[in-house]
Structure 1
């Protein structure tokens, strides 16, 4: 099993170079009929138990990468089996860098978890649906479904914005790889959010109950504040 290389400790640059090669191969694996998606997913999840920050961070990046670019069966498996990647108490105390990077692992794992929760709740990925046009998914939803979907999107968006890597922190190859995936998600989430708001406003004076109008106003306020936070994130 060629994942044996995945477990060894290495510096961040080496980790990124190895991951670049593995990432492409992993995506191909999800499309192969002779590859077991549960086995692949469980191999990754097992590596989240490692105490080395490089191994754990690279594993999270790989999971995120497969959710974005791999066969949808991978995300479906993670969602349907309630797989957990939230490592809120992770701490690598073997070095100063390990302790510092542990902060980002906690935040990043929370986002990957929230991305899976969103898929489990709605059976689609906000970053993959049709968006930015008149027939976009969130622009054509009913008011009832929209009011169910947008809070889920907001929870995912908030988790993403909490990653909070800035300046010289982004010069680290592993943080940079995670940030690139998150930035891609951020732009897509925002467009989907915007579609939802356009739809929400169009329905505000037409087919909404008083309760729905109140919920819509609260969601719109959140949209405005998240728009401002996105500028800081990027």
Structure 2
């Protein structure tokens, strides 16, 4: 087994070296192609920052959109062709970091690309070279689903939840998120998208991004309760489902946080205080639905 793994490492290194050599000779985007290969090579370690920064530079707002589109195409090609779990995870990490840290042009082009192709839909990915590789393949697929959901959530919200700045103003105990101020229609559209994103996040266990998503959902639930008794029956039924799901997700998130709090890595993290929506309010919601107007809202009917 050890000999086989050594062979795979040597073979992976040879493939990376060959691809770098080909990029130097054949590519019109030589520096970018080399950076992508080196950032997503077969070495079992995180992508090196200097290579990732070159990818950031290639997708900056100052570059032609064609260059940004080529970068996405190159990453998609790298992801679709590999059968190695290390390369796949590192490619997803590069995409994730570029979404978070690079210019918005990358996200915009990635959204355009995902309409035509399916860069992150790798449900059939598997590396069966070892038991570890097989197990990691499942996480690769789950991670890709989370990133796909992240893009879908952006389509619905029209902003990136991770870029939100919850800065406290003077004398304020808490700055509300955008979901706290939404109207009924937008709230019922955005909360399910955020809940689905949180579901995918818990599945692949990406910790820090859960903080802002939870805060947005929590503020949205507070807003939902405030406007609930003005809703039509149709909207109230959707709101009830959102409220029920929020309660279940808080339980799952609490279990996830309990596991994470014991890690040295999270020692200095400020975990949000989780607040369970009162289960007693469910009965009140259900009673209202029985008497709620079929269409419009209570305020509009008065």
**TM-score, length of structure 1 as denominator length:** 0.82
Bigger Cα Rg:
2
Report how far residue 215 of structure 1 moved.
1.6
CA distance in 2, matches of 1:68, 1:214: 35
Deviations 1:158-206 (A, max 9, x none): 1111125xxxxxxxxxxxxxxxxx212111110111111111111122x
Q: Does 1:162 align with 2:203?
A: yes
Q: Does 1:55 align with 2:55?
A: no
Cα 1:208–1:131 shift into 2, 3 Å: farther
The 4+ residue runs of structure 1 with deviation greater than 4 A are 130-135
1:175-214 equivalences under 5 Å are 182-205=206-229, 207-214=230-237
Q: What are the ranges of 5 or more consecutive residues in structure 1 without an aligned counterpart?
A: 165-181
Cα 1:148–1:131 shift into 2, 3 Å: farther
CA distance in 2, matches of 1:151, 1:29: 34
Q: Which residue of 2 aligns with 1:178?
A: none
Q: Does 1:46 align with 2:77?
A: yes
Q: Does 1:219 align with 2:254?
A: no
The match for 1:136 among 167, 177, 195 is: 177
SS at match of 1:162: helix
**TM-score, length of structure 2 as denominator length:** 0.64
Q: Which residue of 1 aligns with 2:38?
A: 5
Contact residue 131 and residue 137 of structure 1 kept, 8 A: no
CA distance in 2, matches of 1:32, 1:129: 20
Q: What are the ranges of 5 or more consecutive residues in structure 2 without an aligned counterpart?
A: 1-29, 168-173, 258-302
Contact residue 180 and residue 222 of structure 2 kept, 8 A: yes
Cα 1:110–1:92 shift into 2, 3 Å: same
Q: Does 1:27 align with 2:56?
A: yes
Q: How many residues align?
A: 212
Q: Does 1:116 align with 2:116?
A: no
SS at match of 1:48: helix
Cα 1:105–1:66 shift into 2, 3 Å: same
> Which of 1 and 2 has higher RCO (CA within 8 Å, sep 6+)?
1
Q: Does 1:145 align with 2:174?
A: no
SS at match of 2:53: helix
CA distance in 1, matches of 2:57, 2:208: 21
CA distance in 2, matches of 1:75, 1:232: 32
Q: Which residue of 2 aligns with 1:171?
A: none
The match for 1:74 among 106, 109, 131 is: 106
Q: CA RMSD in A?
A: 2.1
CA distance in 1, matches of 2:175, 2:235: 23
SS at match of 1:81: helix
Contact residue 19 and residue 58 of structure 1 kept, 8 A: no
Report how far residue 7 of structure 1 moved.
5.5
CA distance in 2, matches of 1:48, 1:215: 37
Q: Does 1:231 align with 2:254?
A: yes
SS at match of 1:51: coil
Report how far residue 22 of structure 1 moved.
2.7
